[in-house]
A and B are shown apart, each in its own frame.
Chain A
C-alpha cells in the first residue's frame, strides 16, 4: 500500500523568508511518480511538479525548488523568498505505476497550510 506523510500541518512565515515543506512517502513499487499541488483558498488544485522515481535530480523553478531523495523516501519542497500569494495548502501526492491497462490513482498527504504574513 502506498502512503504519503506530511508531518507539518501548519507553517507561518514572514514574507521573504525561505520555507521548506516536507514530504515522506511509502511504496513497494520501484516505479512511481511524486507530485506537489497547491490549493489556494478558492479550492482548485494547481499542479506544481511531477517527478518519476528514476529521476533524482533536484529541480528549480523560479522561487520553487524540490529535493528528491530516494534513500530517505522524501520529496521536499522549498519556497525561497516567500510571498503572501504563496499562502495556500500544499499537497504532496504519490502514484504507483499500474499494470498495463489498469488505472493508477493519486494518494495525497494531509496537506500543509502555509501562511505568509506581510
Chain B
C-alpha cells in the first residue's frame, strides 16, 4: 500500500534554531500534502495544505513565515520550523493525497515529535 516516510521521528533543538521535517511518498505521487500539528491529548489541527510546485495555503492563525512549507516534487514535502521556541514543541504529522484518488487515499506519515528547549 501507499507509504509516507516522515523524518525525523523525534528531534530536540535549542530555542532560536530551525528544524526541518521531511515527508516522502515512497511508492506513489502525491499531488497534495497536508501538515498537521497535535498538542498533547488534543486533536490534529491542520496547519497548511501544499501542492507540488506552488505556494502552500495556510490555515488561519498559522504563521507562514515561521512554518515554511516546500513541496518541490511529487514525492517530497518539507516543513521548516524557523526560530523555534518552546511553544512550538508539538507533534507534527504530514498526510499525502495520491493523484487520482481525490477524496480518499490520505496516507499519513509516522509523525515528528519536536521538543524545543
Contacts and interface: CB of A to CB of B under 8 A. Distances in A.
Interface in B48-62: 49, 51, 57
A8 to B, nearest CB: 14
A105 interface: yes
A113 B40 CA distance: 12
Interface residues of B, number: 23
Contact of A106 (B42, B51, B106): B106
A47 B51 CA distance: 23
A95 interface: yes
Contacts of A45: 44, 93, 108, 111
A43 B42 contact: no
Nearest to A107: B46
A44 B108 CA distance: 8
Contact of A103 (B32, B42, B110, B113): B32
B28 interface: no
B89 interface: no
B95 interface: yes
A117 interface: no
Contacts, number: 54
Interface in B85-117: 91, 93, 95, 97, 102-104, 106, 108-111, 113
A91 B51 contact: no
A104 B102 contact: yes
Contacts of A42: 110
Nearest to A32: B103
A1 to B, nearest CB: 12
Given A43-B113, A103-B51, A109 B103 contact: no
Nearest to A50: B104
Nearest to B51: A103
Contacts of A113: 41
Interface string A81-118: 00000000001000101100001111111110100000
A64 interface: no
Given A43-B111, A44-B111, A105-B49, A33 B104 contact: yes
Interface of A: 33, 35, 37, 42-45, 47, 50, 52, 91, 95, 97-98, 103-111, 113
